Amino acid sequence: MVTIFNSTPIERQTLEKIILGNPESISQGLKIIGHNFALEDNGIIDFIGLQSTGQLAILSICVDKNDYLLIDLLSYAQYLRKNQGVVTQLFAEHNINFSQKIKIFLIASNFSEKLRLAAAQFSADELALIKFIYLVSGKSGGSKGIIFKPDTFNSQAQENVSLKKNTAKQDYTYAQTENELSIEDEKIKDEKKDFSLENIQDNSEDELDVLLSEEEKAEFINFDKNFLKGP
């Protein structure tokens, strides 16, 4: 049986809960050690994370297509590094390695070309752009889920290599509330030509149909049945 999922807007609070509960859907080995972390008068960091290597990470959700958010995040990273003594004390139970650069994860449903060009000046160890698409099955009271997809921006050559090597496990993480679903590697490759996240938030009335079959194979993350239900 084939289930049709439609893309739909997601509330920021719901997205935050998903990331808090499943940080490895953003990056393998990532854990969240801080949430809504205030930097005196310098702003608020959505999430502070820690990679398995001890690398400190900043995660931020972008909902308003603010191209200047990257500048804010760079200043946040500099603030944490400048105050690493205090940060180390606050997170004493974690083994933070400040010899590594702080990594920034910018999470949004879409990124402007201007932002992508700016991001290309950074290495993959410094910055990651993560696209997401929130899905709801067409039937009333149907299943809900979210896909996180890394945006390759460093170079055209890197993007070409990525498209050739990506598998369902590498390219997509699907968080689903009820039944496990799956995607075959070859199916993703075939559909990738028509699968685009570029205009999802530009026009929320446009729907994107994503076909997912229970017989297909991939790695998924299960959520509690009521986790994503609205009030």
Look at residues 208, 228, 213 and name the one whose alpha carbon lies nearest to residue 143: 228
Please tell me the predicted confidence (pLDDT) of residue 137.
80
How many structural domains are present in the chain? 1
**How do residues 50-100 score in pLDDT, each as one tens digit?**
999 999 999 999 877 778 889 999 999 999 999 999 999 999 999 999 999
- Return the pLDDT at 171: 38
Range of the domain at 55: 2-222
Query: Taking Cα atoms as reference points, which of 169, 167, 128, 135 lies closest to residue 150?
Result: 128
Is the residue at 227 inside a domain?
A: no
**90 found inside a domain:** yes
pLDDT (tens digit per residue) in 8-47: 788 899 999 999 999 999 999 999 999 999 988 778 999 9
- Residue 185 inside a domain? The answer is yes
d(CA 191, CA 187): 6
Its pTM surpasses 0.95: no
Per-residue model confidence (pLDDT) at position 3: 65
**228 is a domain residue:** no
Q: Is 159 inside a domain boundary?
A: yes
Decide if 21 is inside a domain. yes
Give tens-digit pLDDT for 128-176.
999 998 888 876 567 888 899 998 765 443 444 344 444 333 334 444 4
Nearest Cα to Cα of residue 63 among 113, 99, 105, 9:
9
CATH of the domain at 20: 3.40.1350.10
Domain assignment present for residue 65? The answer is: yes
- What token pair was written down for 115? 């932002």
The pLDDT value recorded for residue 140 is 57
Structure-model confidence comparison of residues 67 and 182, the more confident one: 67
Does some domain include residue 163?
yes
